[in-house]
């Protein structure tokens, strides 16, 4: 078992199935701030608890910076809809328990692809889309107590892929 998940869940997964508690994964957490969806940037007071926390993870007898998921969506929809993409990425961040600091997305022409990032206090989520191919590549990197796996059901609902491929890396593994 890796990250408390069977190896099969970490391999290529076609038609990813949401867990029973996936509905609760997208409920606003105590870190949800409505202004995050209205503003491009949220300023954090440098004296806050957030700035002073150690975001390294202690799990399975290991110490590491965080869990980095590479997620490929095939047969996906809404890959040229910049506002829908930004909303999905922010909801995915909140579902994982992360704190959104900023977002920046760019819409390309003529194919309508989107590239962008949501910067998190606990790392980042990035996306690059190829709407003409129905493909999106995402990175979901979260440290601390965040769980990037809780982002997957949100991405599935937003983009309706026919297949999802997920790979995991534990970044900054301390040996």
Please give the average per-residue pLDDT across 128-132, as a whole number.
Answer: 97
Q: What is the chain's Cα-based Rg? A: 16
- Classify residue 71 as exposed, middle or buried by CB count within 10 Å of its CB (0-12, 13-18, 19+): buried
Note if 146 is an active site residue.
no
Domain ranges of the chain: 67-175
Identify the band that residue 57 occupies on the pLDDT scale cut at 50, 70 and 90.
confident
Which of residues 56 and 25 earns the better pLDDT score?
56
Active-site residue identified among 123, 124, 146, 151: 123
CB 82 within 8 A of CB 107: yes
Closest CA to 117 of 89, 96, 143, 152: 89
Active-site residue identified among 33, 74, 107, 128: 128
**Which positions ≥6 away from 37 have C-beta within 8 Å?**
87, 90
Class of domain 67-175 as given by CATH: alpha beta
pTM: 0.69
Active-site residue identified among 124, 143, 146, 151: 143
Identify the band that residue 126 occupies on the pLDDT scale cut at 50, 70 and 90.
very high
Q: Give the Cα separation of 119 and 139 in Å (integer).
A: 12
Q: Which residue has the tokens 């995050």?
A: 36
* DSSP assigned state of 62: E
Which of residues 54 and 61 earns the better pLDDT score?
61
Q: Give the Cα separation of 97 and 7 in Å (integer).
A: 23
Note if 107 is an active site residue.
no
pLDDT in tens, 8-43: 333 333 233 333 343 333 333 334 344 444 444 444
Q: Give the Cα separation of 100 and 122 in Å (integer).
A: 9
Note if 123 is an active site residue.
yes
Q: What is the mean pLDDT of the chain?
A: 76
């Amino acid at each position: 078992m890796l990250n408390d998940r069977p190896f099969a869940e970490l391999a290529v997964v076609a038609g990813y199935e949401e867990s029973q508690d996936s509905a609760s994964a997208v409920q606003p957490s105590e870190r949800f701030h409505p202004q995050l969806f209205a503003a491009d940037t949220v300023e954090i007071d440098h004296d806050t608890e957030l700035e002073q926390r150690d975001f390294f993870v202690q799990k399975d007898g290991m110490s590491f910076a965080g869990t980095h998921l590479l997620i490929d969506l095939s047969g996906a929809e809404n890959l040229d809809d910049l506002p829908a993409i930004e909303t999905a990425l922010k909801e995915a961040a909140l579902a994982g328990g992360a704190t959104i600091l900023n977002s920046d997305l760019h819409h390309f022409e003529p194919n309508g692809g989107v590239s962008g990032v949501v910067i998190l206090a606990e790392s980042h989520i990035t996306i690059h889309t190829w709407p003409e191919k129905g493909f999106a590549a995402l990175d979901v990197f979260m440290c601390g107590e965040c769980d990037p796996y809780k982002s997957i059901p949100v991405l599935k609902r937003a983009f309706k892929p026919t297949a999802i491929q997920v790979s995991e890396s534990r970044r900054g593994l301390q040996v």
